[in-house]
Structures are given as C-alpha cells and as structure tokens.
Amino acid sequence: MTKHWVRFTHDGTQGFGMLEGDAIRVCAGSMFSGAQPTGQVVPLGAVRLLTPVVPTKVIALWNNFHALGEKLNLPVPAEPLYLLKAPNSFLEPGGIIAHPGCEGRVVFEGELAVVIGKTCKRVSESDALDHVLGYTCVNDVTAADILHRDASFAQWVRAKGFDTFCPFGPSIATGLDPATLVVRTLLDGVERQNYPISDMRFPVQRLVSLISQDMTLNPGDLILCGTSVGVGSMKPGSTVQVAIAGIGTLTNRFL
C-alpha cells in the first residue's frame, strides 16, 4: 500500500503525517520507524508544507540516463558519477527559487529522488531497497554558465549549491516500483521533460548499494537519480513543476 508522508507547519508548530486526499493524518514518533497516528486530522489547505525530510546530505548523479548520455555523446560511466548539494540549497514545495545574482543561465532539471529510510553502509544490491523509505520529486537547479567557467576546475558544487537550488517534495511516496515511474517537468505549463526512470544506467538498488560503499547513508538522505533530455533555462518569473505520477507535483517559482 502506498503512503504519502509530508512535513508541515500548522499554527506555529511543526509536524508530520500521512497525506490522505486534501487532509493530513497527523502522526507522532518518527517517519522512519514506529509512526503512530495521533487522531488529529488537519486540512492540507491550512498548513505550509516543508521539505518532507531534512537530509544530512543530498547526492546528485551525473550521466545516469542513456538518452541524455547518447545525446551529449558522453562515455558510459563505469561507476556512479555524483556530487553533493549543500544544505543551504534545500527548498520546500511552493518556495521561491532565488536568482543567484550572477550572470548566465539558470537551468531546471526535473528528477526522481530516492529517500533513505535507515542507516545504510556497504549494503548489497539485493538488500539495498530494504534501506529505502520511498521517493520524491526534485528540481536540481544549476547555474549552468559557472560550471566550466574556469578551465582548471569544474565548479559543480558552486553551480548547484546556491541558496534555494534544491527544491524537493511535496511528499515521500512509499511502496512504489521506481522502474515504473515517469518524470515530467513543465515550465510555465509547457511540458519540457518526459522520461522514464527505467532508462537509468544505474537502477535504484545498484545506486544505493554502490554509493553506500563510499559513505554511510543516513535516514532522510536523498539520492537524486540524475536527469534526462529536455533540461532548459528559467527566466525570472517562471514557474517550474516536476510531476511524477504516484508521488505528486513539486511547484516552485523562480524570481
């Protein structure tokens, strides 16, 4: 059974619970283990949604989709290629993506994020999904012109680490088969991306296993699966939506 977990503020208090239609069934305890309904139900329209988790780190993949790799004529990676996005970049659903203040293109990248559910260190591929809580939507925003501005050093962290450059949410959906999911990104209501997660070079269970060989993954950490064809620039005033059926739609404006 699929559940949709959210975090929120209501009457000045933070909480979490299960999204059920237009209402939230409030829970106590931990989203990761032993969550218990309190009996309180609040209307979705009466709360402000927060990021559905607070990660200790966000790991973002590069060149993880066949279609984009082939379009860009990139070599097939022997292992996952990734970077970290800084905590200051985390942004809630409905939050404003702030212009970084520098010249050049600011690019949207609609992606699926894997949400780790329990401590994960050097796990096997066969056990990897047991460490996954669920999945959410993310926009891996990038100041594209900064990336290769210095020929001696690719500035991945800076280009992707500005304040508000990692919106994610609105919910974490559990009980899904990620291989069946499709990511759609809309810019001002016009579809710009539509690609299947089944096209990933490294599927979810292999990603989790391989990354856990390098570093311990903690409950709430995100692995952004990478993006595919159709990424593009945002102009100030644009609205970007990342929609994944079965999870929800992440909506943010860029100003």
Confidence of residue 5 (pLDDT cuts 50, 70, 90): very high
The average confidence (pLDDT) of the chain is: 96
Asked whether the predicted pLDDT for residue 161 surpasses 90, the reply is yes
The answer to whether 244 and 137 have CB atoms below 8 angstroms apart is yes
CB-side neighbour CA atoms (13 Å) of 214: 12
Percentage of the residues of the chain whose pLDDT score is greater than 70: 100
Whether domain 53-254 has CATH 1.10.287.610: no
Confidence of residue 157 (pLDDT cuts 50, 70, 90): very high
Residue ranges covered by each domain of the chain:
1-50, 53-254
Whether domain 1-50 has CATH 2.30.30.370: yes
Asked whether the predicted pLDDT for residue 31 surpasses 90, the reply is yes
Q: What is the pLDDT of residues 61-70, one digit of tens each?
A: 999 999 999 9
Asked whether the predicted pLDDT for residue 1 surpasses 90, the reply is no
The answer to whether 2 and 45 have CB atoms below 8 angstroms apart is no
The whole-model pTM stands at: 0.95
CA distance 226 to 233: 17
Q: What is the pLDDT of residues 97-137, one digit of tens each?
A: 999 998 899 999 999 999 999 999 999 999 999 999 999 99
Q: What is the pLDDT of residues 8-18, one digit of tens each?
A: 999 999 999 99
Q: What is the model's pLDDT at position 34?
A: 86
Q: Which residues lie below 8 Å from residue 210, measured CB to CB, with a gap of 6+?
A: 79, 80, 202
Q: How far is CA 38 from the centre of its chain?
A: 28
The enclosing H or E element of 211 equals helix 204-214
Helix, strand, coil percent content, the chain, rounded in steps of 5: 15, 45, 40
Q: What is the model's pLDDT at position 91?
A: 98
Return the ∠ at Cα 227 (arms to 168 and 91), rounded to 5°.
15
